[in-house]
Chain A
Amino acid sequence: MAVGSRVLEAAGLARPGRLARLREWWEQEHVFGYGLILPALLLIVCLVAYPFGMSVYFSLSDYWVGSPGRFVGLGNFRNIIGNEIFQRTVYNSFVFTSIAVAFKTVLGIWLAMLLFRNFRFKRLIRGAVLLPWVIPTALSTLAWWWMFDSLYSVVNWTAIHLGIMSPPGPNWLGMTNYAMTAVIAVNVWRGLPFFAIIVLAGLVSIPREYYEAAQVDGAGSWGRFRHVTLPLLRPVLAVVILFSTIFTFADFNIVRVLTRGGPVNTTHLFATLAYQVGLDGGNLGQGAAISLFLFPMLAAIVFVQLRYIRRE
């Protein structure tokens, strides 16, 4: 823009009105507004819209890796809905997401309230709590996997030596409920800092006068939490739950590394099943259909939550 105007200035000496007119045009609110979103728009159209369109096309065709497909309408969707493994995956996804998000919400608020207090080493503690969010997931899940190993599990070792479990302890990744517990635990571990830090930011923004007023009214700490903190946190919570739901629903790495969907598909999520069918198995059409199944559901959740946020 700056260069452009200078060029115009140089060229337009004879007709000074031209530059002025251009500037006037550019200074209009709607022109400026469109101008600023143009780069983002271009990016989304070129690099997101096209791949997304292709994915939708994949899902509507019998596309196999390495051979072009034919349009089959909703055939893939019909097929996967009828498949027991997919039905199990839908169930798993809801169990996984709802439990993980619930834990992250409760623990996240709790942790944020703790971090809000004045500690010695406050910075250090805040930094330490953020660590799980920061370590590359692809590597941290490997560490968890090693911790849950059937033979060398440090979790079991500790529990046995503390006398909580009797040896050899549960086989974390091989038994249905334990495996689900394990993947949820890792997801909570990873997502909790994100939750806590955003809620912490919300807490910081609550004006102190509100608490003082509540105290004058004789509210205890629980009362202050219920009647001041929680209502004022609601918009922040709505946002963070929204994002967390999206992150959790679309989780891939944890299950892929820890259980590969096992035992007997009881931990498969949309993303892992889609990857398994579409890439490992080569059935791109079905893989795309499985992963796109997520989209309308997420869109519905987001629609409701966005409405709620806007109203706030």
Chain B
Amino acid sequence: MDVGVRSKGARIRSAAFGYANVIPFLCFALFPFYYMVITSLKNDAELYDLKAVPFLIQTGVITDHYRYLLAKTEFLTWMKNSLIISVIATSVSLVISILAGYSLARLRFRGVNSFGTAVFITYLVPPTLLFLPLSQVVVWLGISDTIWALVVTYPTFLVPFSTWLLMGYFRTIPKEVEECALVDGASRMQTLIRVVLPMAVPGIVCAALFGFTLTWNEFTYALTFISQSANKTAVVGVTADLIRGDIYYWGSLMAGAVLASVPIVAVYVFFLDYYVSGLTAGAVKG
């Protein structure tokens, strides 16, 4: 945005202005996370001490809560389940959404518009009670109480969102590129896979990131379709095992929250640039 030549002083002033503004946002965004980390490293006596300074650790950092989480619960299994479920569900949804998104964005056939709207409408269906009838479907499919119950049901909320996002992205790709490929004798499927997809990578990464986050954080389906501890996801496992009636294992709960966020944070930081550019096209032309 800095256009033209500016004096050094002006540049420093502008930078200072930027930092001064971004810091409150950072505090707002990070403080709860900081507080989670602090809580997970504090001993219980200090946690429940009314006179203690709440956002410092004064009586020494302890790792007991993490040790409890890793040794006394099946946290690692839950993380593994979460990872498997998120990866498979996201991939499957991506394939479905890419096909549907391309079709809706690029091809002309009867009903294309109404179908596009239908995809969007499914996003509006209030999810509160949807899990009840869906639990029947899961039983009919014979997959209740397995991780497949989630792999199959998660696409229901991923596909509408990703399709919609990818539709916007595909529209930004110049039509001429495809036409050239078609003229050269490639089939439509080949054109989609070899020509269009490589150009849509940022959009796909973006949809994948969203999908991954949504599945990783999903709660209701994971709670109701899975009973065995060995098949639970991280979010459900942590809240199911560390809340005992009116007693909350605050330290371990927060430790679980911190550890469960780590994989996604890593993924995000890594793919952030794709993410931003992916959204650019998708959102703008949507």
- Give A contacts to B, CB under 8 Å: 1, 23, 26-27, 29-30, 32-37, 39-41, 43-44, 46-48, 50-52, 54-55, 58, 107, 110-111, 114-119, 123-140, 142-144, 146-147, 151-152, 154, 157-158, 189, 192-193, 197-198, 200-202, 204-205, 208, 211-212, 215, 235-236, 239-240, 246, 250, 252-253, 270-271, 274-275, 278-279, 284, 287-288, 291-292, 294-295, 298-299, 302, 306, 309
Contact = CB atoms under 8 A, between A and B. Distances in A.
Contacts of A143: 32-33, 35-36, 39, 254, 257
A278 to B, nearest CB: 6
Interface in B15-30: 18-19, 21-22, 25-26, 28-30
9 tightest Cβ-Cβ pairs between the two chains A and B: A201-B279, A30-B109, A139-B257, A54-B133, A33-B107, A36-B103, A40-B100, A51-B133, A201-B280
Contact of B133 (A50, A250, A274, A291): A50
B107 A29 contact: yes
9 contacts: A33-B103, A33-B108, A33-B109, A47-B153, A139-B36, A139-B261, A189-B32, A250-B126, A288-B129
B126 A291 contact: yes
B18 A51 contact: no
Nearest to A54: B133
A157 B124 CA distance: 40
B120 A40 contact: no
Contact of A201 (B104, B152, B276): B276
Interface in B55-109: 55, 95-97, 99-100, 102-104, 107-109
Contacts of B134: 47, 51
Contact of B32 (A128, A147, A151, A197): A147
A287 B129 contact: yes
Contact of A137 (B117, B127, B217, B283): B217
A5 to B, nearest CB: 9
B22 to A, nearest CB: 5
Contacts of B236: 138
A202 B279 CA distance: 8
B130 A127 contact: no
Contact of B33 (A37, A131, A201, A240): A131
B283 A239 contact: yes
Given A33-B107, A117-B14, A291-B129, 9 more contacts: A33-B112, A37-B103, A40-B97, A130-B272, A143-B39, A236-B284, A270-B128, A271-B128, A284-B129
Contact of A204 (B119, B235, B276): B276
Contacts of B18: 114, 117, 119
Contacts of A58: 129, 132
A138 B235 contact: yes
B239 interface: yes
Contacts of B132: 51, 54-55, 58, 284
A166 to B, nearest CB: 17
Residue picked from B14, B21, B36, B160, most chain A C-beta under 10 Å: B36
Contact of B261 (A36, A135, A253): A135
B126 A40 contact: no
Contact of A129 (B26, B104, B109, B235): B26
A30 B104 CA distance: 11
Interface in B249-270: 250, 253-254, 256-257, 260-261, 264-265, 268-269
A124 to B, nearest CB: 8
B268 A134 contact: yes
B50 interface: yes
A291 B128 contact: yes
Interface in B134-187: 134, 137, 152-153, 155-156, 159-160, 163, 187
B199 interface: no
A67 to B, nearest CB: 14
A254 to B, nearest CB: 12
B272 A123 contact: yes
Interface of B: 1-4, 14, 18-19, 21-22, 25-26, 28-30, 32-33, 35-36, 39, 48, 50, 53-55, 95-97, 99-100, 102-104, 107-110, 112, 115, 117-134, 137, 152-153, 155-156, 159-160, 163, 187-189, 213, 216-217, 219, 234-236, 238-239, 248, 250, 253-254, 256-257, 260-261, 264-265, 268-269, 272-273, 275-284, 286
Contact of B120 (A37, A114, A130, A302): A302
Contacts of B2: 118
A250 B283 contact: no
Contacts of A48: 122, 125, 156
Contacts of A142: 239, 248, 253-254, 257
Contact of A205 (B29, B153, B280): B280
B272 A127 contact: yes
B127 A136 contact: no
A149 B153 CA distance: 36
Contacts of B102: 36
B104 to A, nearest CB: 7
Contacts of A125: 22, 26
A136 B107 contact: no
B30 A271 contact: no
B188 A32 contact: yes
A202 B54 CA distance: 40
